[in-house]
Amino acid sequence: MTNRDIAAVLREMALYYEMEGVAFKPAAYEAAADSIESSGLDAATLYEEGGRPALKKIPGVGEGISHHIEGLLKRGGFPEYRRLHKKYPIDVLTLTSIEDLGPKRAKVLYQKLKIKTLHDLERAATAGKIRTIPGFGVKTEEKFLKGIALKKSSHGRYLLGHILPIATKMEEELRRVSGVKHAVVAGSIRRRQETIGDIDILVTTSQPEKVMAVFVGFPEVAEVLEHGPTKTTVRLQNGCQADVRVIADESFGAALQYFTGSKEHNVVVRKMAIAKGLKLNEYGIWRGRKRLAAKTEEDVYKVLGLSAMPPEIRTASGEIEAAKKNRLPVLIPYGSVRGDLQTQTSWTDGEFSIAEMAAAAQALGLEYIAVTDHTRSLAMTGGLDEKKLWLQGREIDALNAKPSGFTILKGAEVNIMKDGSLDIDDEALKKLDVVGAAVHSHFKLSRAEQTARVIAAMKNPHLDVLFHPTGRIIGRREPIDLDIEAVIKAAKATGTAVEIDSYPDRSDLRDSHVRMAVELGVKLVIDTDAHATAHLKYLDLGVAIARRGWASTSDVLNTRPLAELLRWLRTPKNKRK
């Protein structure tokens, strides 16, 4: 049983407790699930080596949950889980992944229509049965159908944030096998695309059989689909396929270039080769039977008169022209964000206190964070009003007064109301270090209305960062209908920064939007939107989006040291550069 399997059961428990209307437990189980999923420690190994006390080393795992995990590891279940699963024999994780379908509604759907699966839901919705339940209506029914369609369309692809840690771990472990020289993840993962079809690993080694034996023996492997000395393909527990190709060391660069892609990029590069009377394939770049280069990617590109392009921008959208002219952008490096400017705490819907979030951020090497809890019109999160923001500010002052080399900024994730106004007074906003605002309601306005609403909000003299510019959640919620170009231009005109959200299924500002912002000289901010300490480590996923959008360090405000960031924030908006 993997950490991911355990996390799934704990998430199910959280949903069951929500159905039952139990207080506190849902949040605790959800937090434990996040923590286990992102932990570098394997729960089964911990348990094997140190029993139940060892499990409690995982943050968020206390007495009760450690008993449950023991039950899962020893017997594949535990009494409370069996009781609730019997009471609600439904695929609650899948059903509640549909927008607007929470656990409470899943319970009603089961009780009234015996809906257990996504298939049942689709059948009931197309038969017009959902609308017969009090409180559901035609709109809800349509929304469910849309949600199902969205889910189907993203089927078979995986979020980068979920796959990258697994791929990186495999790469590192294969590198340690004796005889291995190179082990590198290629394909869409190397290009850091937002979703991933499969994992492609390239290896050069003197002992191919050994590498393949280690690969098929990884604990994540569910099934071996093809096992040979040059190519082996497996399916992982999470459904994703992974393959390892063993290639000749002398053509490593050519193979890496070929298998990194994108296909579109490769098509253009190969045409360039043909135009020069050359041939390019995964074994090298050739004139007739003479191999001109193959050892490194740089060598291969050089034959074509190109400097090597960072994988993230190999999309056939201008990078080849830039490489020809030696005008490639210097992309923002991974690890260069100094502070997270969107985090939520237990003051609202986050799991941890301000002090805990700050300590975790500092442990990751960050220099500052902004606490940006939700504000009052988001009542379900316990959103803060002016008074509570002030009180929170006093807590932050007290924490900052202790010498730590780390700074907590006062902020908020203010709500943009339907008319574009903000739900907190200007006087209170003025006292904050950094004000973010986002759309959290009225997602379905027309493009013209939605655009005007967001632009009106950006005109507020205290709004520093537009959070969640599009509101998209991958595979779950369509973006709001927005004239994004007009919004980005308004950001420039008003001196407002725009957020790149690093959370794995958010990235609601897309690479193409980032590129537009960079071209227009709009400042960006990279945040995790952390609701728990375990989320803070997602910052580099946001850096990947920034890189895909051709952003440099200077485009991203929170790569700056604190004093410089504060100088920008304290400059009146119409004077910001």
CB of 188 to Ca ion, least distance (A): 5
Using the minimum distance from each CB to Zn ion, give the nearer residue, 193 or 342. Answer: 342
Which residue has 């006087």 as its token pair? 427
CB of 378 to Zn ion, least distance (A): 8
441 forms beta bridges with: none
Using the minimum distance from each CB to Ca ion, give the nearer residue, 187 or 549. Answer: 187
263 binds, among Zn ion, ligand DGT, Ca ion, none (CB under 5 to 8 A by kind): ligand DGT
The reply on whether position 344 binds Zn ion by CB under 5 A is yes
Q: Where are the alpha helices (DSSP H) in 21-59?
A: 25-38, 43-55
CB of 65 to Zn ion, least distance (A): 23
Contacts 24+ apart (CB under 8 A), 459-463: 459/490, 459/494, 460/422, 460/426, 460/429, 461/426, 461/572, 461/573, 462/426, 462/429, 462/430, 462/432, 462/435, 463/414, 463/422, 463/429, 463/435, 463/436, 463/437, 463/496
The reply on whether position 345 binds Zn ion by CB under 5 A is no
The reply on whether position 198 binds Ca ion by CB under 5 A is yes
The reply on whether position 349 binds Zn ion by CB under 5 A is yes
The reply on whether position 508 binds Ca ion by CB under 5 A is no
Using the minimum distance from each CB to Ca ion, give the nearer residue, 89 or 156. Answer: 156
Using the minimum distance from each CB to Ca ion, give the nearer residue, 12 or 243. Answer: 243
CB of 312 to ligand DGT, least distance (A): 12
* Residue type for position 516: M
266 binds, among ligand DGT, Ca ion, Zn ion, none (CB under 5 to 8 A by kind): ligand DGT
Residue ranges that bind ligand DGT, judged by CB under 6 A:
187-188, 196-198, 200, 258-259, 261-263, 266-267
209 token code pair: 């059989």
Neighbours of 240 (CB within 10 A): 21
Which residue has 């006093």 as its token pair? 394
81 binds, among Ca ion, ligand DGT, Zn ion, none (CB under 5 to 8 A by kind): none
304 binds, among ligand DGT, Ca ion, Zn ion, none (CB under 5 to 8 A by kind): none
The reply on whether position 171 binds Ca ion by CB under 5 A is no
Which residue has 């109301």 as its token pair? 417
Q: Rounded to whole angstroms, how far apart are CA atoms 367 and 561? A: 8
CB of 33 to Zn ion, least distance (A): 17
The gap from C-alpha 523 to its chain's centroid, in whole angstroms, comes to 21
Size of the site for Ca ion (CB under 5 A): 5
22 token code pair: 């139990």
The reply on whether position 187 binds Ca ion by CB under 5 A is yes
205 forms beta bridges with: 180
Q: Do the beta carbons of residue 204 and residue 254 sit within 8 Å?
A: no
267 binds, among Zn ion, Ca ion, ligand DGT, none (CB under 5 to 8 A by kind): ligand DGT
Binding region for Zn ion (CB under 5 A): 344, 349
